[in-house]
A and B are shown apart, each in its own frame.
Chain A
Amino acid sequence: MNKIVAMAAKDIHILFRDKLGFFFTIFFPLMMAIFFGAMFAGLSRGPASIPIALVDADRTAGSARFVGRLEAAGGLAIERIPGDQALEQVRRGQTAVLVTLRPGFGAALDNPFVATPEVEMSVDPTQFAAAGMVRGVLLEAAGAELQAFMSDPSRMSVTNEQNRRLIEEFSPPSEARDDLLNVLDQIPRIPVLIDEAGLGSVTTGATGGFGPPLEIEQTQVQAQRRGPTNSYATSFAQAMLWTLIGGSVSFSMSIAIERSRGTLMRLLVAPITARQLLAAKGLACLGATLFTSSALITLGITVFGVTPTSYPLLALALLSGSICFCGIMMVLSVIGRTEQAAAGVGWGIALPFTMLGGGMVPLFLMPEWMQTLGNISPMKWTLIAYEGAIWRGFTLSEMLLPCAVLVAIGVLAFSIGATRLRWDTG
């Protein structure tokens, strides 16, 4: 163990002596974090169409018609999902906004005199701009529904008949009851009267007197307290990902360098086993990436006001991410046998996976198929884990999936790399 630690310490020592390696593992990610953080802080994000998840808890013809209207309105990319998965999806950042049509929604649409249709909006706190737009689209669709109702005397008559029966059944005969029934009789004539009075072109909304066409109850999925530091929360998660990539490429190069400089020969002649050598490389990579990613987030917390939602989960995410990239480092060192090849292969593989995994352009701005494809990218899982602890407010059980994926990738890649790595000096 003493020897493994000695080898790992030597590697870390050398990594931090190497200015280029140091640049790629710390300064480059940090600059990205500050740059993108500052950039997104000043931008209100307005993607062409906002992805929302929709739960139809009502399931009536009326609610279906309303969803049809939302879809036709454009501006929203609606994914219909079962209610039990809905909240998780927002919390994991898969959708910015969750809209739930409450039971009774359809009935209220068909009888606006008695009830107002109700929806619930659960919003990811980083997505306020998007939420505002979704609100607008919902209100517009509900307004259109109401207008359609009001301009269709036959639908109103049906409703009127229902209401008349209700009143007659439940209310004992009285003066008030008679007045109510009289008013009811007049309602279907409202559009006709508006027309006759020559007001048809003036009152286009036709909702006057009925209050808002839709009641929206908006909740945040988790406590919101970030405000302007939001964008740094995202960009520091990305920076931590970059430091892992830089670290793993540097360490995969370090094996090639040991080979080309002949020090690998000395290691192989020393009384240590190949297994100890592997363990040392893994440990060094783990230690260095843990250190650099922790250093970055510490800086994010102390200087840029990033406030992780859970420190224990952050530690878990940091560890899992580093384990994953130690495995990747092993695979890279098998593929790149010379220093230049290791660097070329390392960055050549890392960059596309990073783009796919949301390390450059945030995931939610990507087309859906690309986001799905992103699931094969370890970088995406790393970001999910980091963001889960930094601002998505994951619970332990939510954190387990990305962390398990990361550790599994790490262990698998490490063992593939370790068995394929040829400890020769040529």
Chain B
Amino acid sequence: MLVFDHVSKCFGDLRAVDDLSFELEAGEVFGLLGPNGAGKTTAINMAVGLLEPDEGVVRFADEAFDRNPRDAENRRSLGLAPQSIALYEQISGADNLRFFGRLHGLRGSDLEERVAACLDFADLVDVGKKVVSKYSGGMQRRLNLAVAIIHDPELVLLDEPTVGVDPQSRNAIFERVEQLRDEGKQVVYTTHYMEEAQRLCDRVAILDRGRLMALDTVPALITAHGGPGNLVVRTGDGESRHETTDPLATLAELQASQTVDHFQYLPPDLETVFLNLTGRALRD
């Protein structure tokens, strides 16, 4: 299980990750939500041992073991889909999968089974033999994800897996992530789209400028930091917004004095949570 214990990482004067602590729980999709430059990728890179923390420790800890991800042997149990597509473009999708499978010690029929399963997972069975440079952006994204799981790791880290993908492919990726969770894997999912975090993640860590602002389930975060929701009503006078924690009572109050033609309740969401925590909007 992945543990961050008071981890910090600096680039020169910049504290890209600042005193970050969290512990993954079994079978959850863990979200790292934050705007550009929040430190998500830096945290991921430390989780997989690409970067060494300046302070604190990153561990794969359990009752039975306590391992450093920088040891080659310990990397068997994790799979990374990097933020930018990382594939060999000159060879086919199947050959990419085959190559990384071999690096993880797979051979023979085991390897071929996994290659087939991953092509299926990424919905690339028909184009498995085509060279990757001929793939569309969305197909490359899906293959980028599939390569991360070729060796069937316990922990899958997905760094903004939906960047530059059309809504349809994005939905396909969501389904894949849910499939991974159903298979009992732990998933770390970074994003700056709050809708994604809200839909996919069991718990979300909100990062801003390297610091952990809040960490909890989505409903708990909203309850704690979301503040009131908004009731939007349309009357003969036009449209108006009303902050409220009890939309039904507010609506009844409004109807007492005027005729409401149309109303809509906007509950607080992660966007408002982020705004309330940082004073800034999630997307600039």
CB distance from B178 to the nearest CB of A (A): 24
Q: Which of B54-62, B100-108, B215-223 contacts A (4 or more CB under 8 A)?
A: B100-108
B75 and A271 form a contact (CB under 8 A): yes
A268 and B73 form a contact (CB under 8 A): no
Any A CB within 8 A of the CB of B277: no
Any A CB within 8 A of the CB of B89: yes
Contacts of A261 in B (CB 8 A): 86-89
CB distance from B114 to the nearest CB of A (A): 14
CB distance from B52 to the nearest CB of A (A): 11
Known contacts A10-B91, A14-B88; A272 and B80 CB within 8 A of each other: no
Contacts of A268 in B (CB 8 A): 49-50
Bound complex: CA A412 to CA B12 (Å): 34
Contacts of B99 in A (CB 8 A): 6-7, 10
Looking at chain B, what size class is its interface with the partner chain? Answer: 20 to 34
B72 and A265 form a contact (CB under 8 A): no
CB distance from A17 to the nearest CB of B (A): 4
Any A CB within 8 A of the CB of B115: no
CB distance from B202 to the nearest CB of A (A): 24
- Within residues 255 to 283 of chain A, which ones have a CB less than 8 A from any CB in chain B? 261-263, 265-273
- Cβ 8 A contact of B82, one of A2, A266, A272: A266
Contacts of B95 in A (CB 8 A): 10, 13
Contacts of B85 in A (CB 8 A): 262
- Within residues 163 to 198 of chain B, which ones have a CB less than 8 A from any CB in chain A? none
B90 and A18 form a contact (CB under 8 A): yes
Bound complex: CA A424 to CA B188 (Å): 23
B72 and A266 form a contact (CB under 8 A): no
Contacts of A267 in B (CB 8 A): 103
Specify the chain A residue showing the minimal Cβ separation from B157: A269
Any A CB within 8 A of the CB of B264: no
Specify the chain A residue showing the minimal Cβ separation from B147: A266
- Within residues 133 to 151 of chain B, which ones have a CB less than 8 A from any CB in chain A? 147
A269 and B84 form a contact (CB under 8 A): no
Contacts of A271 in B (CB 8 A): 72-76, 103-105
B90 and A269 form a contact (CB under 8 A): no
B91 and A13 form a contact (CB under 8 A): yes
Bound complex: CA A223 to CA B163 (Å): 70
Any B CB within 8 A of the CB of A3: yes
- Within residues 255 to 273 of chain B, which ones have a CB less than 8 A from any CB in chain A? none
Bound complex: CA A2 to CA B91 (Å): 20
Known contacts A266-B80, A269-B50; A2 and B87 CB within 8 A of each other: no
Contacts of B82 in A (CB 8 A): 262, 265-266
Bound complex: CA A265 to CA B85 (Å): 11
| 0/1 string, A1-31, CB within 8 A of B gives 1 | 0110011001001100110000000000000
Any A CB within 8 A of the CB of B46: no
Any A CB within 8 A of the CB of B29: no
Contacts of B80 in A (CB 8 A): 265-266, 269
5 smallest CB-CB distances across A and B, nearest first, come from A262-B86, A6-B102, A17-B90, A270-B103, A271-B75
19 A–B contacts from the bound complex (CB under 8 Å): A2-B105, A3-B103, A10-B88, A10-B91, A14-B90, A17-B131, A18-B90, A261-B88, A261-B89, A263-B87, A265-B82, A266-B80, A268-B49, A269-B48, A269-B49, A270-B103, A271-B75, A272-B72, A272-B103
Which B residues are closer than 8 A to A by beta carbons? 48-50, 72-76, 78, 80, 82, 84-91, 95, 99-100, 102-105, 107, 131, 147
Which A residues are closer than 8 A to B by beta carbons? 2-3, 6-7, 10, 13-14, 17-18, 261-263, 265-273, 425
